[in-house]
Amino acid sequence: MTKDTSKTLPAHHACSLSPQDIVDLFKITFDQELYRDEQQILSDSIQNVKAELYNRNYAAAFDSTTKRTAYCCRWSPSRAIAYASLFSHLEGVREVIQKGTDSEVLCIGGGAGGELVSIVSMFAPSIDFTAKYSTVQRETTAKNLRINLVDIADWSLEIQRITKTMDKAWLFDHSSDVQIKFINQNILKMGPEDLRLPSMNLITLLFTTNELFLAEKAASIRFFQKLSQECSSGCLLLIVESAGSYSHITVGTKKFPIQFLIDTLLLGKRGQESQGAWDLIQEHDSLWYRGKDEIDYPLKVENMRFFYRLYRKK
């Protein structure tokens, strides 16, 4: 296991498109809301979402198209540029996205587009756009990436809009190389035939694990046990949550950092890690992503402080 000693992620990693390219994608996708509609409508919607998120009323925060679009405009660009830097920073994740010839990713709670945009911002630079001119070269360089987004809120319209922009601005005639599937379901209630865990090369839970345990603690524990039972050897699991006490969870009468609980479920009890189904291959307890001030976007682009755990199935 590698203990990450970085304190701050680079604002931009050469493996992905630039932060400005990423926020420009949101500017194009949500041009109507950001620049053409009555700005007070968007501002009011953002405040409504912010209040619900602060109170951890996640269902209420995303219960309308107006609120979901407001989130995409206000927070998804910040998440996307930070995720692009983090994914590029993690060698195993980078290889799944850029070097796999037939990779499949599952983003749990990924409806708002941050994960999707960050992944495609890394996949696009890895495409050999000259391959289409040579049958032989195309056969040897062809890559296929399947991205499955599962969310309890219905982000289908927002994902369609983002995908349409990515196809036109980033992928061009390689849009068929990326298959994007959005599934509007509760991940804790999905069956094996829908989850298809054995086929996944990478699973992400980014700022989602707390929500799952807050909603259904016992079902969440069973879900992590299912990951251990069904994921194939070599599958990567990336968990990201806010650093600090916000990510503590109550078990009985005691509070624990959620990473302690997840480590126990995936690795086994302390001193018995060899019996667990996963290896912890990289971690950080408090890492910053700070965007550059010169990024051109009409709304605030947030910095992010978080912890992460990257596991590999034995």
Measured from the Cβ of residue 136, the count of other Cβ atoms closer than 10 Å reads 8
Q: Are 224 and 195 in contact (CB under 8 A)?
A: no
Q: Are 191 and 184 in contact (CB under 8 A)?
A: no
Residues 162-172 have pLDDT tens digits of 999 999 999 99
Q: Are 107 and 28 in contact (CB under 8 A)?
A: no
pLDDT above 90 covers a percentage of the chain that reads 75
Residue type at 185?
Answer: Q
Cα–Cα distance measured from residue 111 to residue 213, given in angstroms and rounded to the nearest whole number: 18
In sequence order, what are the beta bridge partners of 180? 147
Residue type at 98?
Answer: Q
For residue 252, the Cα-to-chain-centroid distance in whole angstroms is 30
DSSP state of 302: P
Residue 184: which domain range? 2-313
Q: Are 102 and 200 in contact (CB under 8 A)?
A: no
In the structure encoding, which two tokens stand for residue 124, read together? 């696009």
Cα–Cα distance measured from residue 173 to residue 115, given in angstroms and rounded to the nearest whole number: 22
In the structure encoding, which two tokens stand for residue 209, read together? 């694990």
Total number of domains constituting the chain: 1
Describe the crossing of helices 156-166 and 19-29 by its angle, rounded to 10 degrees.
120
CATH number reported for the structural domain that contains residue 178 in this entry: 3.40.50.150
Q: Between residues 294 and 167, which one has the greater pLDDT?
A: 167
Taking residues 36-40, what's their average pLDDT?
Answer: 84
Residues 114-152 have pLDDT tens digits of 999 999 999 999 987 765 555 444 444 568 999 999 999
Measured from the Cβ of residue 272, the count of other Cβ atoms closer than 10 Å reads 10
The pTM assigned to this predicted structure is 0.93
